[in-house]
């Protein structure tokens, strides 16, 4: 954050204000808080006292720097996506509460309706199937407030000041335990779609080992293998948490107090909660309800997993790794979290605090 102090006499503030910066916009020179616009930052806040002007500058929007392609990703679709003023983008690494957040936002938008077809209304935009034009045309035809999900790191994403971004994260060990269930229960149709649909870049996704601890160690040692980098995903979103159109949410906090967190999400999205529908919203966002009605929450109705949609929405619990990972495993994970993210972000990732 940059601070520029300009000392002026209060009596001359409004006459000399434009000489300090050519883009200051204000309606009343006597106001103590004024807005200005620039081409290099998203917002600036000007605070005046009788002797000082302080300009607090917020960094510019992130810029897309690369494309990501693999058995799942085709990030180029974002280059052709036309943002609207009220779009919502849900970001996660994966298996971090993505489907839960989609359900929460759908309930806020559709006021507690039990009949929201979340997978079709809220596509994973950067997944390479179905074809890009199918998803883009479907989103363009939507007349309600749109909510889209991504698993990309920020530097592979087109970032817009028009949209609001909610990123939900979870301790990597909990992510891995959920990811293993997702991968191990995938059926032949899953592998056919992921590996054999034309356009795949890079190696095929292979079936996982039967040993979940070995799976964890490979995922940690190879940073997200066989999917995509865990640490860069967390790090790039953490680094933009200060932007006014970005909100970070932690899975553990949702588990601890879902009503409190949903209120915060609604406030961030500027959605006024209908108190007459509040209990319906909470019920429809509960794990038991989503498990029971998983066919309305899971892509393809769960057809690509053995056990169907109820396999996709599995346990929703944290800490299953505690009785399986060794002390050395945990120490290595925690050390790597600090090395990759820094102490503050590593603590937040582990605890939500």
Give whole-number Cα distances, 123 to 99, 175, 196, 352, in Å. 11, 21, 21, 27
Full DSSP string of 79-113: GG----TT-EEEE-SSSSSHHHHHHHHHHHHTTT-
Q: Which of 248, 237, 231, 260 is nearest to 352 (CA)?
A: 248
**DSSP E strand boundaries for the chain:** 2-7, 24-25, 33-36, 44-49, 52-57, 88-91, 147-150, 164-169, 246-250
Q: Which of 152, 144, 165, 96 is nearest to 124 (CA)?
A: 152
pLDDT tens-digit profile of 66-120? Answer: 999 999 999 999 999 999 999 999 999 999 999 999 999 999 999 999 989 999 9
Q: What is the pLDDT of residue 1?
A: 43
Q: Which two tokens stand for residue 42?
A: 């998203």
Q: In 159-187, which positions are buried (b, 16+ CB within 10 angstroms) versus exposed (e)? A: bbeebbbbbbbbbbbbbbbbbbbbbbbbe
> Which of helix, strand or coil describes residue 45?
strand
Examine the pLDDT at 3 and tell me if it is beyond 60. Answer: no
- Domain 75-351: CATH superfamily is P-loop containing nucleotide triphosphate hydrolases (3.40.50.300)
Residue recorded with tokens 């943002």: 83
Residue 320 banded pLDDT, cuts 50, 70, 90: confident
Residue recorded with tokens 């899953």: 190
pLDDT tens-digit profile of 12-42? Answer: 333 333 333 333 333 333 333 333 333 334 4
pLDDT tens-digit profile of 35-75? Answer: 333 333 444 444 445 445 555 555 689 999 999 999 999 99
The domain segmentation of the chain, as residue ranges, is: 2-57, 75-351
State the pTM of this model: 0.82
pLDDT tens-digit profile of 122-152? Answer: 999 999 999 999 999 999 999 999 999 999 9
Residue 304 banded pLDDT, cuts 50, 70, 90: confident
Q: What is the pLDDT of residue 310?
A: 55
Q: What is the pLDDT of residue 199?
A: 93
pLDDT tens-digit profile of 238-273? Answer: 999 999 999 999 999 999 999 999 999 999 999 999
């Amino acid at each position: 954050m940059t601070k520029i102090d300009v000392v002026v006499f209060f009596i001359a503030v409004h006459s000399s204000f434009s000489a300090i910066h050519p883009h200051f916009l204000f309606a009343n020179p006597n106001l103590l808080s004024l807005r200005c616009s620039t081409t290099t930052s998203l917002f600036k806040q000007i605070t005046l006292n009788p002797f000082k002007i302080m300009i607090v500058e917020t960094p510019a929007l992130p810029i897309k720097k690369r494309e990501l392609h693999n058995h799942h990703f085709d990030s180029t679709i974002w280059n052709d996506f036309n943002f609207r003023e009220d779009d919502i983008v849900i970001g996660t690494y994966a298996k971090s509460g993505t489907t839960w957040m989609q359900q929460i936002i759908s309930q806020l938008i559709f006021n507690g309706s039990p009949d929201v077809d979340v997978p079709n209304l809220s596509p994973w935009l950067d997944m390479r199937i179905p074809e890009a034009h199918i998803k883009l045309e479907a989103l363009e035809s939507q007349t309600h407030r749109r909510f889209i999900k991504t698993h990309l790191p920020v530097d592979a994403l087109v970032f817009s000041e028009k949209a609001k971004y909610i990123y939900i994260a979870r301790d990597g060990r909990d992510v891995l335990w959920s990811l293993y269930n997702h991968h191990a229960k995938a059926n032949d149709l899953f592998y056919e779609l992921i590996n054999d649909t034309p356009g795949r870049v890079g190696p095929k996704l292979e079936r996982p080992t039967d040993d979940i601890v070995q799976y964890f160690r490979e995922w940690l040692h190879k940073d997200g293998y066989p999917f995509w980098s865990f640490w860069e995903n967390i790090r790039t979103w953490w680094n933009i948490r200060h932007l006014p159109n970005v909100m970070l949410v932690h899975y553990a906090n949702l588990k601890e107090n879902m009503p409190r967190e949903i209120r915060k999400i609604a406030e961030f999205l500027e959605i006024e909660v209908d108190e007459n529908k509040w209990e319906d919203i909470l019920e429809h966002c509960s794990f038991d309800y989503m498990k029971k009605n998983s066919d309305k929450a899971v892509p393809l109705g769960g057809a690509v997993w053995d056990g169907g949609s109820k396999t996709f929405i599995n346990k929703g619990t944290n800490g299953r790794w505690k009785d399986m990972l060794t002390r050395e495993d945990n120490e290595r994970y925690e050390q790597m979290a600090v090395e990759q993210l820094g102490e503050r972000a590593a603590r937040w990732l582990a605890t939500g605090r």
